[in-house]
Amino acid sequence: MAAIPEQEKAHHLRQLLQEASYAYYALDQPIMEDAVYDQLYRELATLEADYPDLITPDSPTQRVGERPASQFVSVTHGTPLYSLENAFSWSDMVAWRDRWQRYWRSNQGDLPEDRSYGCELKIDGAALALTYENGCLVRGATRGDGITGEDITSNVRTIRSIPLRLNLREPPPLLEIRGEAFLPLDVFHQINRDRQDQGDPLFANPRNATAGTLRQLDSQIVSQRQLDFFAYTLHGPKGFLLSLETQIQCLEALKQMGFRVNPHWQHCSTLEVIQAYYDRWQTDRLSLPYLTDGVVIKLNAMHLQEGLGFTQKFPRWAIAWKYEPEQAITQVLNISVNVGRTGALTPVAELKPVQLAGTTVARATLHNGDRLAQLDLHIGDTVVIHKAGEIIPEVLRVFPELRPQDACSFQLPDHCPECHEPVVQPKDEAVSRCINTDCPAIVRGAIVHWVSRDALDIDGMGEKLVRQLVVTGLVHTPADLYGLTLEELAGLERMGQKSAANVFNAIDRSRERPWSRVLYGLGIRHVGVVNAQLLSETFPSAPSLAQAEQGAIAQIHGIGPEIAQSVYQWFRIPRHQHLIQSLEKAGLTLATASPGLSQTPEIDPTLRGKTFVITGTLPTLSRDEAKNLIQNHGGNVSDSVSKKTNYLVVGEKAGSKLKKATTLGITCLNETELLEMLR
């Protein structure tokens, strides 16, 4: 695809950024996440670096910091409020340590023995500078551009955790305390609920709500909003500060003076210890009642801080190690359509690969045609993608402003991309479906499901082999697997004699799987592992279930009318009746050994009362299958790791849950270990 002219792209980016800044600073109504703003900003900066002629004086890249708004009186900070350099990885941290040590050696000589760090949580709020004269609060100011901020004293006075008088017997004539104002999450949610009731636009996040609240002209409103404050540094006369030799002593002194200090600081001797602190808070921060977006690492010894000083923008003695944002911007290169086992057509955005919350993302779901139409997504569009927790990434937002001229719109096809038969969209569903039972995608999906672990568990038969068997016409239904000869298997491309024999034997062994698993393997809509088990307990054979009335099926505890209808209708279809007959002929187990008793022996009393959490993508089981399997064996499955968790089942790309479980000493299992445990 041809790139849009750079000039036009720069113009659109500038416009977007200006709109976003205006919405953020002037209206206190942000229209995009900060991470998204940063990425667009970087894109513009890169473009301008490549084409300096494109730079205009009003470009956001030409502005240093944000100007204070006009309603409040401007104040010049005694000492600038520096920002912090950001680190995003271990190697950034190593580079920072090497850098400060090099600087120290060339300016101060040998490194001192105590090179430890004071680590704190990075509170996601707004920085405040508080001036105390003779122990009395006389001024509270926002950070502004770091040099000049706004005097918001009357608003600051409403914050209960900011003392109006310091708890000091002999307060110095002038003392400045700095820290972070923030809104606790419950207060933030309440504010947004109230705003929704009143029809006011919502705050995008607590940080924006904090900044917006601090700049409210009516202190009454500020007072109702229950802002909070954590203090983290103090600036004052040398004599006064002399007794404070370390960062941690400063925090303790601040607490003594009457400030709230975040209690989760830690003294760390090395980068390795910092890494463990960072990792721990990556998960634990999720249970805090306020938001944090990283950890701040400061050299603990004050004499080191003084000796290192500041660059133009940052202290050399501190750095913020940020947690990855969960949104990113990228471009849609194509839109493909995936046809699932049930025939559902899912549009998928093929993306220019982008890093997001620790993984490279190249595809994002668009869910269905309705969602696609709602987004008005074109191929070539710049989009925001989002990955909350471990869910499959999805496209959240489209920037039509950045749409290239040759971008093409996309509509879900009205014919199946696999079999080219017309698709249908049931009235009450958002999903379009291919209903051709001979569609190769549906046939493949049915076989892949049949051979899966929870179903017939045929070892060595992956998606690739299933595709080969379907393409070559050897297999059309699960029953066909049982008619395959060793020669036919060995004759397949890239299949050795030994592998063919293994697969052949695995197919043969699957004849012994109990009726409940055969039932699950049939892939009847709404019949997962648990429902198959329940159904097989009441209807211990295929004929008994096939003949059952819908009402009788719905009588089973745990089986609702929707499931009953689905099962009942499945057995009314001649093709399905024929499949059951063929399976019987092929020697599959279609009844439990003693009527009335389930043949599935796996109910394992040792799992009773055990709580499992699943994280990441398991090699063969879907999340639901793993969940059903555990529940079917008497265990509980929970969504979040806590002290009550007994086992964490870990798949690929495990996220924060793994870190939390490791910290809590919880036993981790991979899929094989889980299955072994269940057997």
The answer to whether 136 is a known ligand-binding residue is no
**Under the criterion CB under 6 A, does residue 120 sit at the interface with ligand IVH?**
yes
Shortest CB 262 distance to ligand IVH, Å: 7
Among 32, 123, 439, 613, binds ligand IVH (CB under 6 A): 123
Residue 150, annotated ligand binder? no
List the interface residues with ligand IVH, window 614-633 (CB under 6 A).
Answer: none
Contact 117, 300 (CB under 8 A): yes
Local structure of residue 365 (DSSP, 8 states): E
d(CA 204, CA 188): 10
Contact call for residue 83 and ligand IVH (CB under 6 A): yes
Which one of 180, 228, 454, 671 is in contact with ligand IVH (CB under 6 A)?
180
Does the footprint of ligand IVH cover residue 542 (CB under 6 A)? no
Closest CB to ligand IVH among residues 232, 278: 232
| Residue 419, annotated as binding a ligand | yes
Closer of 320 and 412 to ligand IVH (Cβ)? 320
Flag whether 37 is marked binding: yes
Q: Give which of 18, 21, 8 is closest to 54, Cα–Cα.
A: 8
The nearer residue to ligand IVH, 294 or 347, going by C-beta atoms, is 294
Q: Is 238 annotated as a binding residue?
A: no
Write down the least CB distance from residue 604 to ligand IVH, Å. 48
The least distance separating ligand IVH from the CB of residue 37, rounded to whole angstroms, comes to 15
- What's the closest the beta carbon of residue 61 comes to ligand IVH, in angstroms? 19
Residue among 448, 499, 506 nearest 478 (CA): 448
130 touches ligand IVH by CB under 6 A: no
User: How many C-beta atoms lie closer than 10 Å to residue 370's C-beta?
Assistant: 15
Whether the Cβ atoms of residue 380 and residue 331 lie closer than 8 Å to each other: yes
Amino acid symbol at 484: L
Residue closer to ligand IVH by CB (options 30, 478) is 30
- Other C-beta atoms lying within 10 Å of the C-beta of residue 147: 14
Nearer to ligand IVH, 293 or 381 (CB): 293
User: Which residues are part of the catalytic machinery?
Assistant: 122
Antiparallel, parallel or unpaired: β 148-150 and 74-76: antiparallel
Q: Is 529 annotated as a binding residue?
A: no
Strand partners, 329: 384
Annotation-wise, does 180 bind a ligand? Answer: yes
Residue tagged 């089973």 (tokens): 556
Q: How many residues bind ligand IVH (CB under 6 A)?
A: 13
Contact (CB, 8 A) for 414 and 421:
no
Nearest residue to ligand IVH by CB is: 127
Contact 126, 214 (CB under 8 A): yes
x/- site string to ligand IVH, residues 229 to 248, per CB under 6 A? Answer: ---x----------------
Nearest CA-CA partner of 181 in 217, 147, 215, 133: 215
Lay out the site mask for ligand IVH across 297-316 (x = CB under 6 A, - = otherwise).
Answer: ------------------x-
Q: Which is nearer to ligand IVH, 104 or 232 (CB)?
A: 232
Q: Which tokens is 330 given?
A: 């990228």
Q: Where are the beta strands (DSSP E) in 357-495?
A: 359-365, 378-379, 382-386, 394-399, 408-409, 423-424, 433-434
Under 8 Å between Cβ of 416 and 423 = yes
Give 647's contacts (C-beta < 8 A, 6+ positions apart): 610, 611, 612, 613, 666, 667, 668, 669, 674
Cα–Cα distance, 521 to 586 (Å, whole number): 15
- Interface residue with ligand IVH, options 97, 122, 433, 633 (CB under 6 A): 122
Which segments are annotated as binding site for Zn(2+)? 416, 419, 439
* Residue ranges binding ligand IVH (CB under 6 A): 82-84, 120, 122-123, 127, 180, 232, 296, 315, 318, 320
Which segments are annotated as binding site for NAD(+)? 34-38, 83-84, 120, 143, 180, 298, 322
